[in-house]
């Protein structure tokens, strides 16, 4: 049996595999199903490690924002959260709409409208919570950075240096 080639690292977003990589993996899976061998096990282990690295980079370490950018984005995210709060308040009024008549068609129309209003409110709440959470995270990051800057400046002054 021929030895399989070592997989090449997969670049891209976490969790996404291009069609070529998916096809390659399917072919490898079929080959390894015929009889597991030590090379196959190593390929699977390497694949799992690469996937974990790509997902970790996409989840956290892939992008760094500087302090000035964070300061610029904070009011924007707070404004987004405020707009979504207004959308929630307006959306809550959708349930108060009365059905136009007392017949089966109007009852069904009202039920559909209520279901739409509920879905709208759920979506708007999720977006609001995300925007508010992101604004809070930016604020925390800015505060942490400023405390670190002050601490560093104080240490430099203590040793007779200017920050």
The residue segments making up the domain with residue 45 are: 1-63
- The fraction of the chain above a pLDDT of 90, given in percent, is 40
Same domain, 72 and 59: no
Which strand (E) or helix (H) includes residue 138?
Answer: helix 104-158
> Exposed, middle or buried, 136 (CB in 10 Å: 0-12/13-18/19+)?
middle
Same domain, 5 and 73: no
Same domain, 56 and 80: no
Mean of pLDDT values over 32-47: 67
- Residue 31 reports pLDDT greater than 90: no
CA 30 to chain CA mean position, Å: 33
**Structural domains of the chain, count:** 2
Same domain, 45 and 97: no
Assigned domain for 138 exists: yes
**CA distances (Å), 4 to each of 10, 25, 28, 44, 76, in order?**
17, 11, 8, 11, 51
Task: Tell me the C-alpha distance between 73 and 141, whole Å.
Answer: 12
Same domain, 42 and 77: no
Confidence tier at 106 by pLDDT (50, 70, 90): very high
Radius of gyration of the chain (CA): 27
């Amino acid at each position: 049996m021929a030895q399989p080639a070592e997989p090449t690292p997969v670049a891209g977003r976490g969790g996404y595999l291009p069609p070529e990589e998916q096809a390659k993996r399917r072919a490898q899976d079929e080959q390894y199903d015929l009889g597991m061998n030590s090379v196959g096990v190593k390929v699977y282990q390497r694949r799992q490690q690469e996937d974990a690295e790509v997902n970790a980079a996409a989840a956290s370490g892939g992008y760094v924002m500087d302090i000035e950018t964070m300061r610029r984005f904070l009011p924007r995210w707070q404004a987004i959260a405020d707009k979504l709060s207004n959308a929630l308040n307006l959306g809550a009024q959708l349930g108060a709409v009365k059905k136009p008549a007392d017949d089966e068609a109007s009852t069904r129309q009202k039920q559909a409208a209520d279901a739409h209003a509920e879905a709208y409110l759920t979506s708007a709440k999720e977006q609001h919570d995300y925007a508010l959470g992101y604004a809070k995270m930016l604020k925390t990051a800015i505060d942490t950075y400023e405390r670190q800057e002050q601490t560093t400046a104080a240490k430099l002054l203590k040793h007779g240096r200017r920050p």
